[in-house]
Copies of this chain bind each other. A is one copy, B any other.
């Protein structure tokens, strides 16, 4: 049995427009790199090989907490070491902590002969997300572990459905400001109008149908959020202009990634995704705010497990 493996957990987009709290997808890049090693003694060791200053104590580290949750269901003489080299900047809104938690559990499961199901892995990784945000959520974990576009139909019991989708290109624009997830959650209204909710579920039903039919026009018409975006986009300078100009450039639509500050736009063509990235750069240059942009296809696979032979 191999005793170590390298995995590449990708960035993910959660809260996909009308799919707040239920719909997400995985990107091909950016992604982190993690070496996971199986050791013959109980416990988890985390070695951070990047400059993000994340805590090495396993119970305070998202990868560590996820693996500790997994260890509870494993024999006593098993443990893990993780060397983590992150590229996904924490606090960006594209699932940095979910990548760490997902990479750790997918790598560990691979070394254990894939004894756990994807649902089990999401469950373990949620303990990692709890360390990061105080909440056990699966919005980014589901697409990171399952790949592609995922629906969380229910959290209790956990019910994750992978949806078919046609080829889609994604542009992420990430202004270098901080939006705390807790602030983004606090400004949401707890009570909403039934009439608005009906519009929202008409749109998510349309979006799911559009994705499964491969109907780009329907996907575009359905990418409407009447509830969350109008409130949260206020926290992101330039949001409205970038969205408007991205659609003028041919993007199907998009919105806030996770709870921001990153935003995403979906495109049918790679060339459009490149133009959309230019729109973001222009708008933030004008505002005078540094920004990062990424272009990627939707990643149907999720966490990539290295196929290279590993010598140990």
Interface residues, chain A, CB within 8 Å of chain B? 18-23, 151-154, 159, 161, 163, 188-195, 197-209, 212-213, 218, 221-222, 227
Shortest CB-to-CB span from A154 to chain B, Å, is 6
Contact partners of A213 in chain B: CB under 8 A:
212
Shortest CB-to-CB span from A207 to chain B, Å, is 8
Shortest CB-to-CB span from A60 to chain B, Å, is 29
Copies in the complex: 2
Evaluate contact between A206 and B151: CB separation under 8 angstroms. Answer: yes
Contact partners of A22 in chain B: CB under 8 A:
198, 201-202, 205
Evaluate contact between A200 and B202: CB separation under 8 angstroms. Answer: no
Residue in B closest to A190 when the chains form the complex, CB atoms? B194
Evaluate contact between B194 and A194: CB separation under 8 angstroms. Answer: no
A151 to B221, CA, bound (A): 14
Evaluate contact between A200 and B203: CB separation under 8 angstroms. Answer: no
A292 to B18, CA, bound (A): 40
Evaluate contact between B161 and A218: CB separation under 8 angstroms. Answer: yes
Contact partners of A227 in chain B: CB under 8 A:
194, 197
Contact pick for A163, options B153, B202, B203, B209, CB 8 Å = B209
Shortest CB-to-CB span from A119 to chain B, Å, is 14
